[in-house]
Structure 1
Amino acid sequence: MAVLTVAALGVVGFLGYQAAATAPDHPTQARPGSHSAQHKKKDKDQTESKQKPTALPAGSGTGVRVVYAVGDRRVWLVGSDGKATHTFAVGPSPASPDPGTYAVTSRNKGGVGSDGVQVEHVVVFHSQGGVVFGFSAAVDGSMPDPNARKRTGAVRESRADGAAMWEFAQVDTKVVVVP
């Protein structure tokens, strides 16, 4: 009798587990078409778009250049053949440069960014309204706070991407900023 009771409890427990796993509000498995399933799909799409390189924006110039798409928070390093040799996500700060074509004006191996963070591989390309815009990598790996009150022009990259930018973008290299 005890064996039968234990077996019955096991079956009831298993059925309860299955019912919970297929319930529409279960956090680990949502039914297709439910709000939770749509939210998960959106999260998955956003994650994949951050991981997959995207196409070079139309109207982003010609020749050797750095392309910075402000809205996409993405940079492309473009070779003389017009093809991107490297693309990566960036973290912008509160201020953004106006769309246009600029050129690298200076480079600095390291220092302290306008937000007070230790940075390396600083590539400056524009100054507008008292804000200096440049690409850099924070030594501690942090990204700027886009909602900060202080208007800074840091466009932060990972340290690996900062090293790639440093090698690619010499003084006078064209920088095209698109919306």
Structure 2
Amino acid sequence: MVAFVAAVIAVAPAATATPWDPEPLAPQSPVGNERAAPASALLPGERLRPGNSLRSPNGRYLLALQRNGNLVLYDMARFAEPPPGAAHSSWPADAALGVGNVPVALWDARTAGTTAGALVMSPDGDLVLHAADAAGGPLWSSRTADRPGAFLSVRDDGAVVVGYGDDGAVVVGYGDGRVLWTAGTSIPDVGLAGTKHVVYDRAGQRVWLIEADGSLFDTYPVSGRATSPSPGAYSVFSKSQYSSSPRTPVTMRHMVRFVEGITGLDIGFHSIPRTYGGIPIQTVDELGQPRSAGCVRQHDAKASQLYDWAPIGTPVIVLA
């Protein structure tokens, strides 16, 4: 569970995801592995087409792949205000909610204006938004590949998400509660509004990448040390694509250092270490457990992502 008090929790601000498209509410007949919407889960091999959606079991939260190419999580019990100067009745509306009622967007993939073809829950564990044109490549991904058997779900019971997320969590993970990726959930508010930053929860063995506007870029399990570094404010001061340990014969990739060691043993985020023979010293399924002697281990794809996402000087807040 996350070891910080409720006073420092803040819900990510609503994303800009207009226009609201009512079509996702209309179920479509499944074709092949496609599932009729609105189910609440997308199993390995299944997909959503533009205009389809998933809905939480309690009916409140809707994850829609809109026809404008954006993947959006809506809270159907909260409504946004029309933009300044716009007549309330002129807003696009969901007929089931009444004219002018526009649900609040909790999260979106920032892919509006693209030619999305399908949201696919890949058998390898990666949730991928593909372009309609195969040559266009993926538009967005949860970066959770190499985790076969994982599935996407829109949940209304935060307790099922092993302490990460309130009502309305969108989760890529397993039925036993292991979470690989989540969005639309509560995130730590550490007083850095307006600044891109990283939060590392040492007790929960999880990190959050938070944009300057307060929105959640990503969150995922890691493996650090249970007793260090000390809680507090740090910042990224050095990065290396390749590094090695001075104590054990292992190598790491995409090192992002944020704690300067007194004896030269700096602490940073990096990939799962490998022996000189290329063998990982822990499995990706063990992420979320404190297995490191100091640094913070990540899935290889997440390590590469953080390396690119966090420039030198990015604040890193460590929670006990």
Alignment TM-score, normalising by the size of structure 2: 0.37
Bigger RCO (CA 8 Å, 6+ sep): 1
Name which of 254, 269, 281 aligns with 1:121.
254
Tell me the alpha carbon deviations over residues 109-151 of structure 1, each in whole angstroms, 9 at most, x when there is no partner.
0121354321100000012554421000035444499567xxx
Alignment TM-score, normalising by the size of structure 1: 0.63
Name which of 139, 150, 172 aligns with 2:313.
172
Name which of 119, 133, 141 aligns with 2:267.
133
Look up the match of 1:55. 186
Distance (whole Å) between structure 1 residues aligned to residue 191 and residue 298 of structure 2 = 20
TM superposition shift of 1:96? 1.4
Letter in 1 for 2:192: G
Does residue 105 (structure 1) correspond to residue 246 (structure 2)? The answer is no
Distance (whole Å) between structure 1 residues aligned to residue 177 and residue 191 of structure 2 = 23
Q: Please list every run of 5 or more consecutive structure 2 residues that lacks an aligned counterpart in the other structure.
A: 1-159, 163-175
SS at match of 1:56: strand
Distance (whole Å) between structure 1 residues aligned to residue 217 and residue 291 of structure 2 = 31
Moved more, 166-175 or 129-138: 129-138
Distance (whole Å) between structure 2 residues aligned to residue 92 and residue 147 of structure 1 = 6
Q: Please list every run of 5 or more consecutive structure 1 residues that lacks an aligned counterpart in the other structure.
A: 1-43
Is the Cα–Cα contact under 8 Å of residues 67 and 76 in structure 1 kept in the other structure? Answer: yes
Is the Cα–Cα contact under 8 Å of residues 74 and 89 in structure 1 kept in the other structure? Answer: yes
Distance (whole Å) between structure 1 residues aligned to residue 295 and residue 209 of structure 2 = 18
TM superposition shift of 1:163? 0.8
Is the Cα–Cα contact under 8 Å of residues 97 and 128 in structure 1 kept in the other structure? Answer: no
Distance (whole Å) between structure 1 residues aligned to residue 231 and residue 255 of structure 2 = 20
| Larger-gyration structure (1/2) | 1
Tell me the alpha carbon deviations over residues 38-65 of structure 1, each in whole angstroms, 9 at most, x when there is no partner.
xxxxxx8654253453531243633200
Letter in 2 for 1:50: V
Name which of 158, 161, 167 aligns with 2:302.
161
Distance (whole Å) between structure 1 residues aligned to residue 291 and residue 296 of structure 2 = 14
Distance (whole Å) between structure 2 residues aligned to residue 82 and residue 52 of structure 1 = 18
Distance (whole Å) between structure 2 residues aligned to residue 55 and residue 45 of structure 1 = 12
Runs of 4+ in 1 over 4 A off after TM superposition: 144-148
Matching of residues 4-153 of structure 1 within 5 Å: 46=162, 47-51=176-180, 53=182, 55-59=186-190, 61-62=192-193, 63-93=195-225, 95-114=227-246, 115-130=248-263, 131-138=265-272, 139=274, 140-143=279-282, 146=290, 152-153=293-294
Is the Cα–Cα contact under 8 Å of residues 181 and 218 in structure 2 kept in the other structure? Answer: no
In the superposition, relative to structure 1, how do residues 82 and 146 fare at CA in structure 2: closer, same or farther (>3 Å)?
closer
TM superposition shift of 1:153? 1.9
SS at match of 2:177: helix
Tell me the alpha carbon deviations over residues 62-110 of structure 1, each in whole angstroms, 9 at most, x when there is no partner.
3200111111100111111111101110011365111111110100001
Distance (whole Å) between structure 2 residues aligned to residue 141 and residue 170 of structure 1 = 27
Distance (whole Å) between structure 1 residues aligned to residue 250 and residue 302 of structure 2 = 17
Identical aligned residues as a percent: 26
